[in-house]
Structures are given as structure tokens and as C-alpha cells.
Amino acid sequence: MVIGLWLSLAASAQPTGAGIYKMRWFVDKRLTNSFTINNTGTTPLNIPQALYDSVVNEVMKLVKDELFTQVRFIYPLNNRGDEMRYTTTTDLVGGLPRGTKKKAMKTEYMEYYVKFKINVGLNSVGSIGGEVASYSRLKPYVQIKMKAYGLDRRVKKRKNARTGKFSSIGSFQYNIGGVTMTNTNAIPIEQVVTMVFEGLEKFKNKNK
């Protein structure tokens, strides 16, 4: 009902700006946890504030350049009235908006509603061994996705990029009594953020 009212008033009240209502930043837990049990990490994903802010600021700039308008976060409210944000886990960066398009459109009247994803994952590029014990080489990659919707809920801009020009890491996995344990050559979070910036740069330069 609210969205319909906004649409009917569009002629007299032109929407402006873009709101990022969902920004999901995923990092494979094997990159930052040297030891995992049943694919569960032991250390929450903790990114220093300065690095966190630098990535967020770069995302804002990229979205602004893509949509030619001012950009800010939208934090829709859940049924309890709390802002919808991601909670920090062993593979998700916390504090970022995790709303839905429907809730975002009820929260703010804007020209674009944006969903942005950063995925830092791992691909196996070779392994030896069997079910009991195995050694693998894992190659990191960064995938960036952006999707912008208009007030009519239709996609107005879609863009994605992927880069995987990173050194592989070693991973030893073994199974004891039905419990799978993995030892990985984890890397510092600063190196992960550097990879993220390379992914964002690839996104920026795509189709130029």
C-alpha cells in the first residue's frame, strides 16, 4: 500500500539517491581459521575498523559511479523494530545492512535500491589422499556482484566481476570418528582485504 502511494506521487516528488539495503561480505572461514572442525571455524571474522571503513567507502564510491547518484546505507527494521544488520560470524562480516527490497522500499523513498555482495571463496585446484585423510591446494577468488532496482521493483543495473589471480594455500583434512578436522595455511586478514580491493578494482574496470 505504501509503495503504491509512493508510485502515485512519483510525478510530483521525484526520488533521488541510491540506498544499499543489503551488503553481504563473505570470507571462506578456511582463509582466516587455521583449524576448523566439521567446517566450523573457531575465530570470529574480525576486521580492523580502518580496513572495514576503507572497503565500505570504496563500495559506496563504486555504486555512486555506476548509478551517477549519491549513495548511503539503508537499515530496514525487523518486526521487533530493530535495524537489520549482519551479525559477525566466522565467515560473515557483521554490522552491514541485511534488509530486503520490500522492507527497504517501505523505509526510504529513493531512486535505486541496491544489493551488493563480496564473496571471498576458495576453489580446490588439486588434492591427494582419500576419505580418512587428504591434502589439497586451495586457490582464493573474489567475486563482486551488484544489483540495483527501481521503484517499480525492476532491475535497472546489474554488474558482476570475478578475479582469482592469487596464490594457493595448503589444506590438510582428516576424519576421526566421524569428525572432520581441517588444518589450513590461513592468511592475515590484511591480506584478505587486499584481495577484496583487487576484486573491487576488477569490478570498477569491467566494461570500460
118-154 per-position pLDDT tens digit: 999 999 988 898 878 999 999 999 999 999 999 999 9
Residue 64: predicted pLDDT: 97
Residue 123: predicted pLDDT: 95
State the average pLDDT for the chain. Answer: 91
| Structural domain of 165 | 2-9+16-205
Query: pTM of this prediction?
Result: 0.88
Residue 135: predicted pLDDT: 93
Residue 3: predicted pLDDT: 53
Residue 50: predicted pLDDT: 97
Give the chain's domain count: 1
The H-or-E segment that residue 58 falls in is helix 49-67
The H-or-E segment that residue 57 falls in is helix 49-67
Cα 27 to Cα 29: distance, rounded to the nearest angstrom: 6
Give the CA distances from residue 79 to residues 88, 94, 99, 173, in Å, rounded to whole numbers and listed in that order.
21, 20, 12, 42
pLDDT less than 50: residues of the chain = 6, 9-11
